[in-house]
Amino acid sequence: MSNAYQALRESAAWIDLSARGKIRVAGEDRARLLHAMCTQNITDMKSGEGAYAFFLNAQGRILADTNIFCFEDHFLLDTEPEMARSLFEHIDRYIIADDVTLTDETAQTATISVEGPEAERVLRGWGAAVPEGDHRTALWDGKVVAQVSSTGAPGYFLFVPNAAKDELVAKLGDVPQADAAEARVVRIENGLPRYGEEITDRYLVQETAQMRAVHLSKGCYLGQEIVERVRSRGQVHRLLRKLELETAVPPAAGTKLTAGGADAAEIASSAISPATGKAVALAYVRAPFAEPGTVIEMGIDGGAFTARVC
């Protein structure tokens, strides 16, 4: 068990997330445009507030997820590295007569996260301004501090100009750095999906079980009709769930699991948990098996193991 992995679970570690996409949305019509394009209520958002949101296509499929942060004169969209360009182009296509300007600030802005149960203590030890509330932001000596996490542990993103990155990293002192592989294991252990791995344009909003991304009473937006149709009919046949597996061999993504001869789940991601020595996975589980706490015998390649739905 590495020091950084253990720190993410028990104290705090830092992660270099500078490759994540950062899109600045400015102009008088910025709130109206984003409100019409994403699943969150943007028009009522005030400076210092933020939210997790999906961008959908007209068929209700998820094109990207993003952390949206509101400031006095612009919004900042923080998204997965591989989605920055496509999200920028998707929004840009809908700017017609709107007073909206998009700027890709990914290359100019570094992102350092501090995550783990003691992340807040670490920031306060620096004298940093610490926002109180999910997705809220605070300004601190030319930096933006946002209460958001990439691993599902308590955490904060710090957005700084690239020129100030080394100075910020130096402040971290003996706080260990977690690499992408360590952070991924903790993320799966915490049941937090990532766009591009567990969430893709294959899935509908309700299937991901990430309803924190959706404001159900905000009114019309791109893809809203499908979201509302699924909600009103309650027709969700599969749900993203964390599985704790009684096996030391993590099933590959795409592996189909069965229970009693029936299709039960499809693995989206998996890893070995160093804490338990067993496999943990995020999987799309068929509705009859998806109740948290359900323990089922699952078959795979002629073998079988017990899985607990979390």
Say yes or no: 131 and 63 in one domain. yes
Q: What radius of gyration, in Å, describes the C-alpha atoms of the chain?
A: 20
Q: Is residue 57 a part of any domain in this protein?
A: yes
Query: Where among 189, 206, 225 does a domain terminate?
Result: 189
pLDDT at residue number 258: 83
pLDDT at residue number 282: 98
Q: Is residue 47 a part of any domain in this protein?
A: yes
Say yes or no: 50 and 161 in one domain. yes
Query: Where among 189, 206, 227 does a domain terminate?
Result: 189
Q: Are 149 and 155 in contact (CB under 8 A)?
A: yes
SS3 letters for the chain?
CCHHHHHHHHCCEEEECCCCEEEEEECCCHHHHHHHHECCCCCCCCCCCEEEEEEECCCCEEEEEEEEEECCCEEEEEECHHHHHHHHHHHHHCCCCCCCEEEECCCCEEEEEEECCCHHHHHHHCCCCCCCCCCCEEEECCEEEECCCCCCCCEEEEEEEHHHHHHHHHHCCCCCECCHHHHHHHHHHCCCCCECCCECCCCEHHHHCCHHHCCCCCCCCCCHHHHHHHHHHCCCCEEEEEEEECCCCCCCCCCEEEECCEEEEEEEEEEECCCCCCEEEEEEEEHHHCCCCCEEEEEECCEEEEEEEC
CATH label of the domain that carries residue 160: 3.30.1360.120
Domain containing 301 equals: 237-310
Say yes or no: 185 and 307 in one domain. no
How long is the chain?
310
Q: Is residue 141 a part of any domain in this protein?
A: yes
Amino acid at the residue 11 = S
- Judge if pTM exceeds 0.85: yes
Q: Is residue 227 a part of any domain in this protein?
A: no
Per-residue pLDDT reduced to its tens digit, 13-41? 999 999 999 999 999 999 999 999 999 99
Q: Is residue 173 a part of any domain in this protein?
A: yes
Say yes or no: 84 and 175 in one domain. yes
Per-residue pLDDT reduced to its tens digit, 100-122? 999 999 999 999 999 999 999 99
Q: Is residue 258 a part of any domain in this protein?
A: yes
pLDDT at residue number 301: 65
pLDDT at residue number 1: 63
Give the C-alpha distances (Å, rounded to integers) separating 189 from 147, 172, 193, 246, 288: 20, 25, 10, 14, 23
Say yes or no: 177 and 244 in one domain. no
What are the two backbone dihedrals, phi and then psi, of residue 223, each rounded to the nearest 5 degrees?
90, -5
Give me the number of domains the chain comprises: 2
Say yes or no: 27 and 84 in one domain. yes
Low-confidence ranges of the chain (pLDDT < 70): 1, 301-303
Q: Is residue 38 a part of any domain in this protein?
A: yes
Say yes or no: 267 and 172 in one domain. no
